[in-house]
Structure 1
């Protein structure tokens, strides 16, 4: 069977969703609808071979961007399936020009109790519906009618309303995804010569570093953080950036490369020109404030911190100023300058460079940092979000923070903040670190504050409203 790719029964075929033109020798060009056998999944680029209609190998193997292909015969191949998408991203996409009443998408849910969510445009708003499954793994919206496959459920609600006067029409306009050539840099080649990078305008500065907009090889826009050698030595710098290379999550800023030769050192990351969350919040008018939008931001940060927590990594400087915003309102946790991996449950630092008003009492008093001290900081961040960027404890001098906290003093709830959200803040600010929730628990608590619509139900089913309605009271 010369020319055929060796495939076992578990081998999966992938189909391209868009045309792609390669820009490097190791990349593979292809047309929408081409079929592939994926040899190895490595980060954002997968090694693959192209197949013809009979399943025979066509040409040499090459790399394809993972977000351009979908497994054949799955929901991912459908034009209405948008994968891992937050509520706010769904709203932003559906409200863009080109979509109309009834435009819809299916996304992976940000809640634990159901896997998919259906988001539908309704004139000047977007409604969200839970897609649930029963014990037979059938899909349904209201328990009255079930469907063996997700695409059958979607087809049915083209014919009948998903809620009063609202039927599904066309899938949300889906734009070709972005591709970064940087992901093809092998893990053992993260060290790059400085000559490959050009510094542009300065984006920000701190006590020990500056951040610039930059360009890699004259064509790829990046962010470049410069750190002077006097702050750290090369051995420590390499050790503390090496673990960042292994972290990959949609809510963490992606590290692309480092330059550890010469002064200053460079850390190269993805560029997010919209800036940080703090400036975003302070730029909002009160009539632009959206509780759903704020919850979405908080859930994204909690999800990124949950990933760090699972990888035994503490951040130590979690604050709105260190959350960056993408064009689609994806939040990225940034500034790992103080981050550490903790092999034990505790990390001790006696550094005097402390963000006092975001730091837990045990860290202020004894330099003891754990994931639970990050939880304390998350509570402050949640207060920043709900108060549109208010400075924490504005009436308390920095030097008096610890004694105020020891006396049990805590910030009041921001204006218009619900009791439910404020209670989450207070849990984060428990004096006993062991009584603070984990980030996994925080994600669930925030999820349970988000609103989802119900499809119309018959009188017999109306009692289910009390079970499924998780909206804020």
Structure 2
């Protein structure tokens, strides 16, 4: 071995300078690649089952960055658009990667994606339900031809969704992996894939798609805390507190921002007594463990007096406020379903995590852009260790309370389902007070006698039947939130008249899987 090293050294000495540099570089590069391969293999073995639910990222697989990322935190990795990185681990909204030059760090999961060739286009929204898509396209201004592309519920199809007339959205289904598809339907070979089809339709009328005018605008991405933070606590000096915008179970709510950042946040500030501080910190702990698109996102906590919870800011306020502001406007049935479905989706997530909310009502549902609804105010929320939670004291919303809560303050997922039925009543009546004109004591007596709210004027029969199902006296007879979520998605998504194959190959790709 020693003789071999000496011979190799003599050979290098006799080489021209350029060749010597190349050999040294190749030797160094080879060991860097070996180290990188070992790291990728190790992480693939350790984290092979870790995936982000909204992406198809595979541990140990290389991906191309969709845009430049200039990190704000030390543990993050700076990367350029088109740079190749390999995924080592996925953590919520961050992914830990290693670059080709052996640098490691965190980047947002949105920065890489298996469908990177589509994520570079502003019209591609990827994971979006049909109801969410229609709500986004119907947002003013309603310019005919406004469009977006999203994944279908069938893995082999994409949907090109277009606002074909005011309040009318058509969904054109296009296969993802049929290389001969565009060759069959192309006009004079003027397009050969989805991006070229979209580009062609932005300049020409084509089939049932018509003329595409402008991509649907995307909401601003949410602020993300630095990855692997040991604590969500921040100093009060990092916050800029603005005007008061409301009040919650244990404090007042202000609009504000983080110093040095331009996005708005909501700051819930507790009152001065110590009980409120403990309850607010309990609420923050619950919110920290919940990550769902229909649940308000926690950003940070200030533990010094007065304690503050910093969450995302939703510009349209609570659902009850939204109804008051739009009292003169008729809210379409599709929008009512959009509210009901999103809330059921968020509550089904809470149900799966064994949390009960205990204060589910329109005042605690926040409304963002594109009719996005998020469940907030977790001041009364608890984690269920068994089937029920028995409260010994404390106030509760009587008009939304189930019979077992009015009797013994016994809470469960099914008592939340009862409250959800009352919330449906609020949605249909545009925020009308349940049991209007009755005192708390008369409401309690009315409910315990087995009475139910009457059907609101103009309420859909099947929607009211769902309310009645939520108001069954026996908690076991009420549906779960997972059942309710599936009910809305299955029953109210129409499939007969507004799906086609874009006028490309009529009938071939028409289906009901949206």
Which bracket does the TM-score occupy, shorter chain normalised? 0.7 to 0.9
Aligned-partner Cα distance in 2 for 1:113–1:33: 26
Native 8 Å contact 1:45 1:183 kept in 2: no
Looking at structure 1, the residues matched to 155 and 419 of structure 2 have their Cα atoms a distance apart, in angstroms, of: 27
Cα distance in 1, alignment partners of residues 151 and 441 from structure 2 = 46
Deviations 1:186-216 (A, max 9, x none): 4422122333223221111246311111232
**Aligned mate of 1:257, from 281, 290, 300:** 300
Please name the residue that 2:403 is paired with.
Answer: 361
For the 8 Å contact 1:301–1:331, the answer to whether it is kept is yes
Question: SS at the partner of 2:246?
Answer: strand
| Alignment correspondent of 1:17 | 66
Asked if 1:280 is matched to 2:322, the reply is yes
Alignment match, 1:455: 500
| Residue 94 (str. 1) matches residue 137 (str. 2) | yes
Residues in 1 aligned to 2:310 and 2:258: alpha-carbon distance in whole angstroms = 9
- Pairing partner for 2:125 from 68, 82, 98: 82
SS of equivalent residue, structure 2 residue 225: helix
- 1:79: how far off? 5.8
Q: CA deviation at 1:123?
A: 3.1
Unaligned runs of 5+ in 2: 1-29, 45-57, 180-184, 186-191
Distance 1:178 1:207, change over 3 A: closer
Match of 1:411 in 2: 453
SS at match of 2:285: helix
CA distance, structure 1, for counterparts of residue 306 and residue 404 of structure 2: 33
Q: Cα distance, 1:444 vs. partner?
A: 1.4
> Is the 2:73–2:226 contact (alpha carbons within 8 Å) kept by the matching residues of 1?
no
Change (3 A) 1:186 1:390: same
Once the two structures are superposed, the pairs formed by residues 313-352 of structure 1 within 5 Å of their partners are: 313-352=355-394
Partner of 1:243: 286
Contact persistence 2:360–2:420 (CA under 8 A): yes
1:41 aligns with 2:84: no
Q: Quick check: which has more Rg, 1 or 2?
A: 2
Aligned to 1:142: none
2:20 corresponding residue in structure 1: none
2:414 counterpart (340, 352, 372): 372
> How far off its partner does 1:116 sit?
6.2
Q: SS at 1:215's partner residue?
A: strand
Is 1:275–1:324's contact at 8 Å kept on the other side of the alignment? yes
Give the stretch that moved more between structures: 302-311 or 344-353: 344-353
**Secondary structure in 2 matching 1:189:** coil
Alignment of 1:98-117 (within 5 A): 103-108=146-151
Higher deviation after alignment, 323-332 or 60-69: 60-69
C-alpha separation between the residues in 2 aligned to 1:287 and 1:204?
A: 24
| Number of equivalences | 445
Per the TM alignment, residue 236 of structure 1 is displaced from its structure 2 partner at its CA by 6.1
Structure-2-length-normalised TM-score:
0.74
Structure 2 residue aligned with 1:389:
431
Between the aligned partners of 2:406 and 2:279, the Cα distance in structure 1 is: 24
CA contact (8 A) 1:114 1:130 kept: no
Question: Given that residues 428 and 436 in structure 1 are in contact (C-alpha distance below 8 angstroms), is that contact kept between their aligned partners in structure 2?
Answer: yes
Contact 1:256 1:269 in 2 (8 A): yes
The structure-2 alpha-carbon separation of the partners of 1:128 and 1:234, relative to structure 1 and needing over 3 Å to count, comes to same
| Other structure's SS at 1:49 match | strand
Would you say the 8 A contact 2:405–2:411 is kept in 1? yes
CA positional deviation for 1:23: 3.6
- Residue 123 (1) aligns with residue 168 (2): no
Change (3 A) 1:445 1:128: farther
Q: Is the 8 A contact 1:12 1:71 kept in 2?
A: no
**Distance in 2 separating the partners of 1:438 and 1:154:** 42
**1:281 CA displacement:** 1.7
Structure 2 residue matching 1:244: 3-state secondary structure: helix
1:291 paired residue number: 333
Question: Structure 1: 5+ residue runs without aligned partners?
Answer: 51-55, 140-144, 146-150
Secondary structure of the residue aligned to 1:47 is strand
CA distance in 2, matches of 1:415, 1:279: 21
